[in-house]
Amino acid sequence: MARRSMRTEIIEAGLEQFHSLGFNAAGVKGITDAAGVPKGSFYNHFDSKEALAVVALQEYGAGRRLAELRDPAVDPLTRLRAHFEFLRDETIGYGITRGCMIGNFGAEIADHNDTIRTAVREALADWADAIEATLADAQRSGEVRADLNPATTARFLLSAWEGTLIEARTDRSTEAFDVFFAMTFDTLLR
Amino acid sequence: MARRSMRTEIIEAGLEQFHSLGFNAAGVKGITDAAGVPKGSFYNHFDSKEALAVVALQEYGAGRRLAELRDPAVDPLTRLRAHFEFLRDETIGYGITRGCMIGNFGAEIADHNDTIRTAVREALADWADAIEATLADAQRSGEVRADLNPATTARFLLSAWEGTLIEARTDRSTEAFDVFFAMTFDTLLR
């Protein structure tokens, strides 16, 4: 097996540290230690912790399975539900911690860093676009009520999801997930 | 005018620093500087930054105007809308930054600190109780659709609100607030 590049190791360790600890609590030393590379090598690949955070956020966004959301072989509402179930199960797999790195960066650091704020905004916009397209498909197939604006509804679902993750982590229980699915799929979208 | 106690000065400076910077980025030195008290005096009043954070969070919760939510002199749906408008306008007053300290602590620190996690959970529970009672009143007066469970709906509104603040701060625009009001008051609750 080919050894991964040092840059890849740093990105993956950064994603892990930023996701589990947050931006401020994650440090370059902790990231290079976790990556198993010398601290000095960090700056051969990234200008700053902020620069790594932007790349790690893109990597995290690429793991959100947005392509599956657009898969025409699956019923639109089924793939929308599967999407949020995947995200839910990921958080459950971490013992109902971590939540969404996009939302976490938005809450913790967007006020203070325009570069990261822009990266968060772009990640949310890509995500909302994919959900909007799925909702529009679901309206065409009659699975979602026709009077909802898909763009507005997609934005709202994402906001509700980000807040749901905060509630679930705070309770360290899956109850907030049940509330989310009941209030969206069984109520709002019908 | 009576001079406020040193403890009160520290709590108010702590609230300001935690709300604007987050838990990790706020330091005891910055808080005592902002309070205009010697750093050493901090530990006469609080055992730790964490202990101050819990008191500051309670103070923040007390400023959420939950009593107004329960005011029987105002129509239930009117006071529920006024509640979220008050919260929206507070964030707009800070240039669409800061958001909700309860949600921020939930996103940033609840995974790592059980004392703060418990304080966040209690703040959310008090808030949800007040919204639940208002929703039940609004159902009795026929302003909110009767088939919604008020407890579940209250939890969902809070989650949606917390995520809305993240989106609004990330966009630094009021659009996410418009989405929240349209999707809840004009759609979900009707």
B107 and A103: CB-CB below 8 Å? yes
Shortest Cα distance, chain A CAs vs residue B162, angstroms:
5
Give residue B112's identity as a one-letter amino acid code.
H
Superfamily of domain A6-58: Homeodomain-like (1.10.10.60)
Q: Give the integer Cα–Cα distance in Å for B104 and A189.
A: 28
A104 and B106: CB-CB below 8 Å? no
Confirm whether pTM is higher than 0.95. yes
B155 and A169: CB-CB below 8 Å? no
Per-residue pLDDT of chain A (190 residues; tens, 9 = 90+): 456 899 999 999 999 999 999 999 999 999 999 999 999 999 999 999 999 999 999 999 999 999 999 999 999 999 999 999 999 999 999 999 999 999 999 999 999 999 999 999 999 999 999 999 999 999 999 999 999 999 999 999 999 999 999 999 999 999 999 999 999 999 999 9
CATH number for the region A65-188 comes to 1.10.357.10
ipTM score over 0.85, yes or no: yes
* Best CA proximity match to A160, nearest among B22, B100, B127, B165: B165
A22 and B117: CB-CB below 8 Å? no
Domain boundaries, chain A: 6-58, 65-188
Shortest Cα distance, chain B CAs vs residue A4, angstroms:
31
